Amino acid sequence: MNINRDLTANLDYFIEKFGSSLSPEAIIKEDILRQGIAFDEVSHEENFSSKSYFIFSFNVDNDGDVINKKYPEEIAVKNGPYNLKRTIISVRINKTSPYIIKYESESGGYKLYLEGGYIGDVSFSPEKSYMLKKTEFGKSVRDVAPTIEWGYLIYLAVFRMCQYFENHTECAFCDMNSNYLNQKKANKNYSAVKSVEDIIGALSIIESSEDSSAGAYTLTGGSIIDEIGFKGDTEIDFYVRFLEAIEEKFKGRWISKVVVQAHTQKNLMRLKSAGAYIYHTNFEVWDKSLFEKICPGKSKFIGRDEWVKRIVDAVAVFGEYKVIPNFVAGVELSRPFGFESIDDAVNSTAEGLEFFMSKGVIPRYTTWCPEKTSKLGKLGNSSAPLEYYVKLLLKWHELHYKYNLPVPEGYGAAGPGKAEFSVSAFMDAFKVETI
Protein backbone atom coordinates (compact mmCIF):
# COMPACT_ATOMS: atom_id res chain seq x y z
CA MET A 1 0.00 0.00 0.00
CA ASN A 2 1.28 3.45 -0.89
CA ILE A 3 0.83 5.90 1.94
CA ASN A 4 0.84 9.52 0.84
CA ARG A 5 2.62 11.55 3.51
CA ASP A 6 2.68 14.95 1.78
CA LEU A 7 1.17 16.73 4.78
CA THR A 8 3.69 15.13 7.13
CA ALA A 9 6.56 16.17 4.87
CA ASN A 10 5.14 19.70 4.79
CA LEU A 11 4.89 19.79 8.58
CA ASP A 12 8.44 18.45 8.93
CA TYR A 13 9.70 21.14 6.55
CA PHE A 14 8.20 23.99 8.61
CA ILE A 15 9.29 22.52 11.92
CA GLU A 16 12.84 22.07 10.68
CA LYS A 17 12.98 25.58 9.25
CA PHE A 18 11.05 27.57 11.88
CA GLY A 19 10.75 25.27 14.90
CA SER A 20 13.57 27.03 16.74
CA SER A 21 11.99 30.48 16.29
CA LEU A 22 8.36 29.53 16.86
CA SER A 23 8.52 26.13 18.64
CA PRO A 24 7.40 22.84 17.10
CA GLU A 25 4.41 22.98 19.45
CA ALA A 26 3.09 26.21 17.89
CA ILE A 27 3.51 24.91 14.33
CA ILE A 28 1.80 21.60 14.97
CA LYS A 29 -0.98 23.33 16.88
CA GLU A 30 -1.74 25.59 13.91
CA ASP A 31 -1.74 22.62 11.57
CA ILE A 32 -4.21 20.75 13.75
CA LEU A 33 -6.45 23.76 14.33
CA ARG A 34 -6.68 24.61 10.67
CA GLN A 35 -7.56 21.06 9.59
CA GLY A 36 -9.53 19.81 12.57
CA ILE A 37 -9.43 16.34 14.07
CA ALA A 38 -11.14 13.03 13.30
CA PHE A 39 -11.79 10.59 16.13
CA ASP A 40 -11.57 6.88 15.59
CA GLU A 41 -13.57 6.26 18.73
CA VAL A 42 -14.38 8.11 21.91
CA SER A 43 -15.84 6.16 24.76
CA HIS A 44 -18.92 7.71 26.32
CA GLU A 45 -17.77 6.35 29.64
CA GLU A 46 -14.67 8.54 29.69
CA ASN A 47 -14.56 11.27 32.30
CA PHE A 48 -13.62 14.36 30.32
CA SER A 49 -14.96 17.84 29.70
CA SER A 50 -17.00 17.58 26.53
CA LYS A 51 -17.54 20.21 23.88
CA SER A 52 -20.00 22.73 25.28
CA TYR A 53 -20.54 24.54 21.97
CA PHE A 54 -20.00 27.69 23.98
CA ILE A 55 -20.59 30.16 21.16
CA PHE A 56 -19.89 28.79 17.66
CA SER A 57 -19.67 25.14 16.67
CA PHE A 58 -15.94 25.30 15.92
CA ASN A 59 -16.47 22.09 13.94
CA VAL A 60 -15.89 21.61 10.24
CA ASP A 61 -18.60 18.90 10.25
CA ASN A 62 -21.83 19.49 12.10
CA ASP A 63 -24.20 16.77 10.96
CA GLY A 64 -26.31 14.83 13.43
CA ASP A 65 -23.69 12.15 13.59
CA VAL A 66 -21.26 14.67 15.10
CA ILE A 67 -23.45 16.84 17.30
CA ASN A 68 -25.06 13.88 19.05
CA LYS A 69 -21.69 12.46 20.11
CA LYS A 70 -19.56 13.50 23.03
CA TYR A 71 -16.12 14.84 22.10
CA PRO A 72 -13.59 16.58 24.34
CA GLU A 73 -13.58 20.38 24.41
CA GLU A 74 -9.79 20.33 24.12
CA ILE A 75 -6.94 17.88 23.93
CA ALA A 76 -3.38 18.08 25.17
CA VAL A 77 -0.72 16.44 22.99
CA LYS A 78 2.79 15.62 24.16
CA ASN A 79 5.85 13.43 23.44
CA GLY A 80 6.07 11.76 20.04
CA PRO A 81 8.76 12.22 17.37
CA TYR A 82 8.87 16.02 17.89
CA ASN A 83 9.27 15.57 21.65
CA LEU A 84 6.34 17.89 22.21
CA LYS A 85 5.76 19.64 25.49
CA ARG A 86 2.10 19.56 26.58
CA THR A 87 0.19 21.46 23.91
CA ILE A 88 -3.46 22.36 24.49
CA ILE A 89 -5.61 22.41 21.36
CA SER A 90 -9.29 23.15 20.81
CA VAL A 91 -11.15 20.20 19.27
CA ARG A 92 -12.69 20.90 15.87
CA ILE A 93 -14.36 17.86 14.41
CA ASN A 94 -13.53 17.17 10.78
CA LYS A 95 -14.44 13.63 9.83
CA THR A 96 -11.97 13.64 6.92
CA SER A 97 -9.06 15.29 8.72
CA PRO A 98 -5.64 13.72 8.22
CA TYR A 99 -5.20 14.09 12.00
CA ILE A 100 -6.87 11.13 13.71
CA ILE A 101 -7.08 10.25 17.40
CA LYS A 102 -7.22 6.54 18.19
CA TYR A 103 -7.52 4.64 21.41
CA GLU A 104 -4.87 1.99 21.88
CA SER A 105 -5.84 -0.53 24.48
CA GLU A 106 -2.32 -1.99 24.78
CA SER A 107 -0.77 1.26 25.91
CA GLY A 108 -4.02 2.29 27.58
CA GLY A 109 -4.28 5.69 26.00
CA TYR A 110 -5.27 7.91 23.12
CA LYS A 111 -2.70 8.68 20.41
CA LEU A 112 -2.67 11.28 17.66
CA TYR A 113 -1.72 10.28 14.12
CA LEU A 114 -1.11 12.32 10.99
CA GLU A 115 -1.51 10.35 7.78
CA GLY A 116 -0.97 7.21 9.83
CA GLY A 117 2.25 8.44 11.47
CA TYR A 118 2.38 8.78 15.26
CA ILE A 119 2.46 12.42 16.45
CA GLY A 120 1.99 12.20 20.21
CA ASP A 121 0.12 11.02 23.31
CA VAL A 122 -3.24 12.61 23.91
CA SER A 123 -5.18 13.50 27.02
CA PHE A 124 -8.66 15.04 27.09
CA SER A 125 -9.68 18.24 28.88
CA PRO A 126 -10.40 17.25 32.48
CA GLU A 127 -13.95 17.36 33.77
CA LYS A 128 -14.24 19.91 36.53
CA SER A 129 -16.63 19.15 39.38
CA TYR A 130 -18.65 22.34 38.81
CA MET A 131 -19.47 21.54 35.19
CA LEU A 132 -21.84 18.78 36.29
CA LYS A 133 -23.69 20.91 38.84
CA LYS A 134 -26.89 22.91 38.47
CA THR A 135 -27.79 26.34 39.76
CA GLU A 136 -30.67 26.84 42.18
CA PHE A 137 -32.82 27.62 39.12
CA GLY A 138 -31.97 24.23 37.62
CA LYS A 139 -29.55 25.52 34.96
CA SER A 140 -26.51 23.47 34.06
CA VAL A 141 -23.16 25.15 34.74
CA ARG A 142 -21.81 23.54 31.55
CA ASP A 143 -24.43 25.41 29.55
CA VAL A 144 -24.42 28.71 31.43
CA ALA A 145 -20.75 29.18 32.30
CA PRO A 146 -18.51 26.52 30.72
CA THR A 147 -14.78 26.79 31.12
CA ILE A 148 -12.33 26.37 28.26
CA GLU A 149 -8.55 26.74 27.95
CA TRP A 150 -8.07 23.79 30.31
CA GLY A 151 -10.21 25.55 32.92
CA TYR A 152 -8.54 28.98 32.75
CA LEU A 153 -11.34 30.91 31.01
CA ILE A 154 -15.01 31.04 32.03
CA TYR A 155 -16.94 31.64 28.84
CA LEU A 156 -20.14 33.63 29.36
CA ALA A 157 -21.87 33.79 25.99
CA VAL A 158 -25.08 35.36 27.22
CA PHE A 159 -26.71 36.05 23.83
CA ARG A 160 -26.16 33.24 21.32
CA MET A 161 -28.22 34.62 18.43
CA CYS A 162 -26.51 37.44 16.53
CA GLN A 163 -28.90 40.01 15.05
CA TYR A 164 -26.77 40.37 11.93
CA PHE A 165 -28.19 37.01 10.80
CA GLU A 166 -31.69 38.48 10.79
CA ASN A 167 -30.50 41.04 8.24
CA HIS A 168 -28.54 38.43 6.25
CA THR A 169 -25.45 40.46 7.04
CA GLU A 170 -23.68 37.98 9.30
CA CYS A 171 -19.93 37.58 9.06
CA ALA A 172 -19.24 35.05 6.33
CA PHE A 173 -17.11 32.79 8.55
CA CYS A 174 -19.63 32.69 11.42
CA ASP A 175 -22.07 29.89 12.28
CA MET A 176 -23.46 31.24 15.54
CA ASN A 177 -27.18 31.05 14.75
CA SER A 178 -27.04 27.70 12.95
CA ASN A 179 -24.97 26.33 15.82
CA TYR A 180 -27.71 27.44 18.22
CA LEU A 181 -30.41 25.73 16.16
CA ASN A 182 -28.33 22.54 15.84
CA GLN A 183 -27.53 22.43 19.51
CA LYS A 184 -31.12 23.07 20.49
CA LYS A 185 -32.10 19.93 18.55
CA ALA A 186 -29.53 17.88 20.42
CA ASN A 187 -29.97 19.44 23.87
CA LYS A 188 -33.22 21.11 24.84
CA ASN A 189 -31.49 22.94 27.70
CA TYR A 190 -29.09 24.78 25.36
CA SER A 191 -30.01 28.43 25.88
CA ALA A 192 -29.96 31.40 23.48
CA VAL A 193 -30.29 34.12 26.10
CA LYS A 194 -29.04 33.78 29.64
CA SER A 195 -30.24 35.71 32.65
CA VAL A 196 -28.17 37.60 35.19
CA GLU A 197 -29.46 35.18 37.86
CA ASP A 198 -28.27 32.17 35.84
CA ILE A 199 -24.82 33.67 35.45
CA ILE A 200 -24.44 34.65 39.10
CA GLY A 201 -25.67 31.22 40.18
CA ALA A 202 -23.18 29.40 37.96
CA LEU A 203 -20.28 31.67 38.91
CA SER A 204 -21.03 31.12 42.61
CA ILE A 205 -20.66 27.38 42.06
CA ILE A 206 -17.39 27.81 40.16
CA GLU A 207 -16.03 30.23 42.73
CA SER A 208 -16.56 27.79 45.58
CA SER A 209 -15.23 24.74 43.70
CA GLU A 210 -11.86 23.47 44.88
CA ASP A 211 -10.84 22.31 41.42
CA SER A 212 -11.48 25.64 39.71
CA SER A 213 -8.38 27.12 38.10
CA ALA A 214 -10.21 29.95 36.32
CA GLY A 215 -8.28 33.20 36.02
CA ALA A 216 -10.54 35.19 33.70
CA TYR A 217 -14.01 35.38 32.24
CA THR A 218 -15.24 36.52 28.86
CA LEU A 219 -18.65 38.16 28.65
CA THR A 220 -19.93 38.09 25.11
CA GLY A 221 -22.61 37.14 22.62
CA GLY A 222 -23.95 38.02 19.22
CA SER A 223 -24.36 41.62 18.17
CA ILE A 224 -27.39 43.61 19.28
CA ILE A 225 -28.01 46.31 16.70
CA ASP A 226 -28.78 49.53 18.52
CA GLU A 227 -31.40 50.64 15.97
CA ILE A 228 -33.25 47.38 16.67
CA GLY A 229 -32.40 46.64 20.30
CA PHE A 230 -33.30 43.56 22.32
CA LYS A 231 -36.37 43.82 24.55
CA GLY A 232 -35.83 47.57 24.68
CA ASP A 233 -32.12 47.32 25.50
CA THR A 234 -29.22 48.60 23.45
CA GLU A 235 -26.18 46.34 23.32
CA ILE A 236 -24.47 48.29 26.09
CA ASP A 237 -27.61 48.30 28.30
CA PHE A 238 -27.79 44.54 27.92
CA TYR A 239 -24.16 43.70 28.75
CA VAL A 240 -23.67 46.31 31.47
CA ARG A 241 -26.31 44.63 33.59
CA PHE A 242 -24.32 41.39 33.61
CA LEU A 243 -21.04 43.13 34.29
CA GLU A 244 -22.39 45.14 37.19
CA ALA A 245 -23.90 42.09 38.84
CA ILE A 246 -20.76 39.97 38.38
CA GLU A 247 -18.36 42.65 39.54
CA GLU A 248 -20.50 43.59 42.51
CA LYS A 249 -20.50 40.02 43.77
CA PHE A 250 -17.04 38.81 42.71
CA LYS A 251 -14.98 41.98 42.34
CA GLY A 252 -11.37 41.21 41.44
CA ARG A 253 -11.91 37.44 41.49
CA TRP A 254 -11.27 37.02 37.76
CA ILE A 255 -9.95 39.26 34.98
CA SER A 256 -13.01 40.57 33.14
CA LYS A 257 -13.02 40.63 29.34
CA VAL A 258 -15.88 41.91 27.24
CA VAL A 259 -16.43 41.16 23.55
CA VAL A 260 -18.97 43.43 21.90
CA GLN A 261 -19.20 45.61 18.79
CA ALA A 262 -17.01 48.69 18.32
CA HIS A 263 -18.60 51.41 20.44
CA THR A 264 -18.13 55.12 20.98
CA GLN A 265 -16.06 56.27 23.94
CA LYS A 266 -19.23 57.31 25.74
CA ASN A 267 -20.57 53.76 25.58
CA LEU A 268 -17.19 52.30 26.47
CA MET A 269 -17.09 54.43 29.61
CA ARG A 270 -20.26 52.63 30.71
CA LEU A 271 -18.57 49.26 30.22
CA LYS A 272 -15.45 50.41 32.02
CA SER A 273 -17.43 51.85 34.95
CA ALA A 274 -19.35 48.59 35.22
CA GLY A 275 -16.10 46.65 35.65
CA ALA A 276 -14.79 45.70 32.19
CA TYR A 277 -11.00 45.39 32.34
CA ILE A 278 -10.15 44.17 28.83
CA TYR A 279 -12.08 45.23 25.75
CA HIS A 280 -12.24 43.02 22.69
CA THR A 281 -13.93 44.36 19.64
CA ASN A 282 -13.07 42.10 16.80
CA PHE A 283 -11.99 43.51 13.45
CA GLU A 284 -11.94 40.01 11.88
CA VAL A 285 -10.03 40.94 8.72
CA TRP A 286 -7.88 44.01 8.03
CA ASP A 287 -8.19 44.62 4.29
CA LYS A 288 -10.92 47.24 3.72
CA SER A 289 -12.52 45.62 0.73
CA LEU A 290 -12.47 42.16 2.34
CA PHE A 291 -13.91 43.55 5.57
CA GLU A 292 -16.84 44.95 3.63
CA LYS A 293 -17.49 41.64 1.88
CA ILE A 294 -16.78 39.27 4.76
CA CYS A 295 -18.34 41.39 7.53
CA PRO A 296 -21.33 43.04 5.83
CA GLY A 297 -23.18 43.67 9.12
CA LYS A 298 -20.25 45.43 10.74
CA SER A 299 -19.82 47.45 7.55
CA LYS A 300 -23.48 48.37 7.27
CA PHE A 301 -24.22 49.27 10.87
CA ILE A 302 -20.90 50.81 11.93
CA GLY A 303 -18.53 50.94 8.96
CA ARG A 304 -14.98 49.66 8.63
CA ASP A 305 -13.13 52.95 9.12
CA GLU A 306 -15.29 53.86 12.10
CA TRP A 307 -14.74 50.36 13.54
CA VAL A 308 -10.97 50.77 13.31
CA LYS A 309 -11.13 54.30 14.76
CA ARG A 310 -13.18 53.09 17.73
CA ILE A 311 -10.63 50.37 18.47
CA VAL A 312 -7.89 52.96 18.70
CA ASP A 313 -10.10 55.39 20.68
CA ALA A 314 -10.80 52.62 23.19
CA VAL A 315 -7.19 52.83 24.45
CA ALA A 316 -8.05 56.17 26.08
CA VAL A 317 -10.80 54.41 28.05
CA PHE A 318 -9.26 51.04 28.95
CA GLY A 319 -5.58 51.89 28.84
CA GLU A 320 -2.62 50.66 26.80
CA TYR A 321 -2.52 46.92 26.07
CA LYS A 322 -6.06 46.41 27.40
CA VAL A 323 -7.73 46.68 24.02
CA ILE A 324 -7.28 43.28 22.36
CA PRO A 325 -9.28 42.92 19.14
CA ASN A 326 -9.46 39.56 17.43
CA PHE A 327 -9.10 38.66 13.77
CA VAL A 328 -9.98 35.39 12.09
CA ALA A 329 -6.68 34.33 10.63
CA GLY A 330 -6.98 32.63 7.26
CA VAL A 331 -10.17 34.20 5.91
CA GLU A 332 -7.98 36.58 3.88
CA LEU A 333 -7.42 33.56 1.61
CA SER A 334 -11.04 32.42 1.38
CA ARG A 335 -12.93 32.20 -1.90
CA PRO A 336 -14.43 34.03 -3.71
CA PHE A 337 -13.07 37.35 -2.40
CA GLY A 338 -9.74 36.56 -0.76
CA PHE A 339 -6.15 37.18 -1.83
CA GLU A 340 -4.60 34.90 -4.41
CA SER A 341 -1.25 34.58 -2.67
CA ILE A 342 -0.20 33.72 0.86
CA ASP A 343 2.29 36.58 0.96
CA ASP A 344 -0.34 39.14 -0.06
CA ALA A 345 -2.62 37.85 2.70
CA VAL A 346 0.11 37.98 5.35
CA ASN A 347 1.31 41.42 4.20
CA SER A 348 -2.19 42.84 4.39
CA THR A 349 -2.77 41.49 7.89
CA ALA A 350 0.72 42.60 8.96
CA GLU A 351 -0.21 46.15 7.96
CA GLY A 352 -3.16 45.99 10.34
CA LEU A 353 -1.08 44.42 13.11
CA GLU A 354 1.51 47.16 12.87
CA PHE A 355 -1.14 49.88 12.76
CA PHE A 356 -2.72 48.63 15.98
CA MET A 357 0.44 47.60 17.81
CA SER A 358 1.99 51.03 17.20
CA LYS A 359 -0.98 52.51 19.08
CA GLY A 360 -0.90 50.39 22.24
CA VAL A 361 -3.50 47.90 20.99
CA ILE A 362 -2.62 44.18 21.00
CA PRO A 363 -4.50 42.41 18.20
CA ARG A 364 -4.69 38.65 18.52
CA TYR A 365 -6.23 35.93 16.40
CA THR A 366 -8.18 32.72 16.26
CA THR A 367 -7.28 30.21 13.57
CA TRP A 368 -10.11 30.08 11.06
CA CYS A 369 -12.24 26.92 11.26
CA PRO A 370 -14.15 26.66 7.96
CA GLU A 371 -17.41 25.34 9.43
CA LYS A 372 -19.61 23.89 6.70
CA THR A 373 -22.57 25.65 8.33
CA SER A 374 -21.08 29.13 7.71
CA LYS A 375 -21.44 31.12 4.48
CA LEU A 376 -17.80 30.51 3.57
CA GLY A 377 -18.18 26.83 4.40
CA LYS A 378 -21.24 26.55 2.17
CA LEU A 379 -19.13 28.03 -0.64
CA GLY A 380 -16.84 25.02 -0.31
CA ASN A 381 -13.93 26.72 1.43
CA SER A 382 -11.37 24.69 3.25
CA SER A 383 -8.61 25.86 5.56
CA ALA A 384 -5.76 28.24 4.76
CA PRO A 385 -2.35 26.57 4.22
CA LEU A 386 0.13 25.94 7.04
CA GLU A 387 2.62 28.26 5.32
CA TYR A 388 0.23 31.17 5.93
CA TYR A 389 0.03 30.40 9.67
CA VAL A 390 3.77 30.03 10.03
CA LYS A 391 4.39 33.36 8.29
CA LEU A 392 1.66 35.02 10.35
CA LEU A 393 3.14 33.76 13.63
CA LEU A 394 6.58 35.02 12.62
CA LYS A 395 5.18 38.44 11.71
CA TRP A 396 2.98 38.74 14.80
CA HIS A 397 5.91 38.04 17.12
CA GLU A 398 8.31 40.23 15.14
CA LEU A 399 5.94 43.21 15.51
CA HIS A 400 5.06 42.41 19.10
CA TYR A 401 8.79 42.50 19.89
CA LYS A 402 9.39 45.63 17.77
CA TYR A 403 6.80 47.60 19.76
CA ASN A 404 7.99 46.15 23.04
CA LEU A 405 4.53 44.98 24.02
CA PRO A 406 3.72 42.81 27.04
CA VAL A 407 2.19 39.34 26.92
CA PRO A 408 -1.53 40.15 26.76
CA GLU A 409 -3.40 39.85 30.03
CA GLY A 410 -6.28 37.43 30.37
CA TYR A 411 -4.79 34.70 28.20
CA GLY A 412 -3.19 32.53 30.82
CA ALA A 413 0.38 31.31 30.61
CA ALA A 414 2.63 31.84 27.57
CA GLY A 415 5.26 29.69 25.93
CA PRO A 416 5.52 26.11 24.69
CA GLY A 417 4.31 23.61 27.26
CA LYS A 418 2.57 26.33 29.23
CA ALA A 419 0.05 28.04 26.94
CA GLU A 420 -3.61 27.42 27.70
CA PHE A 421 -5.18 29.53 24.96
CA SER A 422 -6.48 26.84 22.65
CA VAL A 423 -7.82 28.40 19.43
CA SER A 424 -4.56 29.67 17.97
CA ALA A 425 -0.87 29.28 18.70
CA PHE A 426 0.19 32.87 19.28
CA MET A 427 0.59 32.22 23.02
CA ASP A 428 2.56 29.00 22.40
CA ALA A 429 5.10 30.82 20.21
CA PHE A 430 6.40 33.16 22.92
CA LYS A 431 10.01 32.44 23.68
CA VAL A 432 10.52 31.49 27.30
CA GLU A 433 13.32 34.07 27.76
CA THR A 434 11.09 36.95 26.57
CA ILE A 435 8.17 36.24 28.91
Residues at the interface with ligand SF4 (CB under 6 A): 162, 164, 170-171, 174, 176, 222-223
Based on the number of CB atoms within 10 Å of its own CB, is 287 exposed (0-12), middle (13-18) or buried (19 or more)?
A: buried
Q: Smallest gap, in angstroms, from Cβ of residue 208 to ligand SF4?
A: 32
Least gap, CB of 222 to ligand SF4 (angstroms): 4
Tell me how far, at minimum, the Cβ of 328 lies from ligand SF4, in Å: 8
| Nearest distance from C-beta of residue 81 to ligand SF4, angstroms | 37
User: Minimum Å distance from CB 330 to ligand SF4?
Assistant: 14
| Length of the chain in terms of residues written | 435
84-90 β-sheet, strand order: 38-39, 99-104, 109-114, 117-124, 74-79, 84-90
Q: How far apart are CA 307 and CA 283, in angstroms?
A: 7
Nearer to ligand SF4, 94 or 177 (CB): 177
* Residue among 200 and 295 whose Cβ is closer to ligand SF4: 295
Residue (203 or 328) nearer to ligand SF4, CB: 328
Residue among 378, 428, 394 at smallest CA distance from 23? 428
DSSP 372: T
Computed on alpha carbons and rounded to an integer, the radius of gyration of the chain in Å comes to 21
SS3 (DSSP) at 328:
strand
* DSSP-assigned letters across all residues of 182-209: HHHHH-TT--SB--HHHHHHHHHHHHT-
What is the distance between the alpha carbons of residues 427 and 411, in angstroms, rounded to a whole number? 8
Pairing relationship of beta strands 364-367 and 147-148 according to DSSP bridges? unpaired
Work out how close the CB of 307 gets to ligand SF4 at its nearest, in angstroms, rounded to a whole number: 11
Quickly count: other Cβ atoms within 10 Å of residue 375's Cβ.
18
Please report, as a single letter, which amino acid is at residue 430. Answer: F
Nearer to ligand SF4, 144 or 260 (CB): 260
Whose Cβ is closer to ligand SF4: residue 58's or residue 130's? Answer: 58
Which of 170/287 has CB closer to ligand SF4?
170
Q: Are 35 and 62 in contact, with CB atoms under 8 Å apart?
A: no
- Of 89 and 174, the one with the shorter C-beta distance to ligand SF4 is 174
Nearest approach, Cβ of residue 174 and ligand SF4 (Å): 3
Angle at 373 between CA 93 and CA 119, to 5 degrees: 20
* Separate counts of helices (H) and strands (E) for the chain: 14, 13
The residue (of 113 and 173) whose beta carbon lies closer to ligand SF4 is 173
Q: Nearer Cβ to ligand SF4, position 125 or 223? A: 223
Q: For the CB of residue 169, give the shortest distance to ligand SF4 in the complex, in Å.
A: 8
* Euclidean distance between CA atoms 289 and 296, whole angstroms: 11
Measured over the CA atoms of residue 325, residue 328, residue 331 and residue 337, the dihedral's sign is negative
Measured from the CB of residue 320, what is the shortest distance to ligand SF4 in angstroms? 25
